[in-house]
Chain A
Amino acid sequence: QSVLTQPPSASGTPGQRVTISCSGSSSNIGRNDVYWYQQLPGMAPKLLIYDNNRRPSGVPDRFSGSKSGTSASLAISGLRSEDEADYYCAAWDDSLSGSGVFGGGTRLTVL
């Protein structure tokens, strides 16, 4: 059971816009930045979005992030076949002595 809640799956056709949600609480998303990772099959995760809505260099501007209250979203516009992957949200959680926490992951299928 992951601390952050994501839908297990999402899908879209090429060119469409897809959003993936990430729900948390006041101890994590409500007070800390959200990060998004893309994991291609058989590979390590790769940072996609940091500080809620910022893209590392090299990440296409088709990817965008947002945060409001205790929830966050990742949007992918102009969907491409190579976007088919697992997507994870992450945030620091201040409960107990603190810990990094992740969502359970969303598998994106490009139809």
Chain B
Amino acid sequence: QVQLQESGPGLVKPSQTLSLTCTVSGVSVTGGGYYWTWIRQHPGKGLEWIGNIYHSETYYNPSLKSRVTISADTSKGQISLKLTSVTAADTAVYYCARTLTHRDTWFGPWGQGTLVTVSS
């Protein structure tokens, strides 16, 4: 059974870098032919696709591309998200999810999500 769990600081100061980790269990992050996607949800709002990764191949939302880096650590079974120069607009619940291809919006399973607040 594949499970995902996000972790990282719940509070980040403006202009700093947001760093989150998604720990994957039940399957290798570079095996099984799956992509791993980051999605965020602003408080009380809808969902936003951030980007995904397959081995070292990455795809990013054009609106976030200049600030986002997604990477994979096979030995730890983790997918990481880094978002630079954060502002209050980056306050959101961040989810990781498995998907089938880089252009897929079939997501499952999802992690439980982690809330990140950007504030001084």
Contact = CB atoms under 8 A, between A and B. Distances in A.
Contacts of A60: none
A103 B46 CA distance: 7
A47 B37 CA distance: 15
A45 B107 contact: yes
A21 B86 CA distance: 34
B88 interface: no
Contacts of A2: 46
A92 B49 CA distance: 10
Interface residues of A, number: 27
A2 B62 CA distance: 15
A35 B106 contact: yes
Interface in A85-111: 88, 90-92, 96-105
Contacts of A44: 95, 110-113
Interface in A45-80: 45-47, 50-51, 56
A7 B68 CA distance: 31
B102 to A, nearest CB: 8
Contacts of A92: 103-105
Given A101-B49, A103-B46, A96 B62 contact: yes
Contacts of A50: 106
A47 B106 contact: yes
Interface in B56-83: 59, 61-63, 65
A43 B103 CA distance: 25
B28 to A, nearest CB: 22
B59 A98 contact: yes
Given A44-B95, A96-B62, A99-B62, A88 B110 contact: no
Nearest to A2: B46
B90 to A, nearest CB: 17
Contacts of B37: 100
Contacts of A56: 108
A1 to B, nearest CB: 10
Contacts of A43: 112
User: Top 10 A-B pairs ranked by shortest CB distance?
Assistant: A100-B49, A44-B110, A90-B105, A102-B47, A104-B46, A47-B108, A96-B62, A92-B103, A105-B46, A100-B105
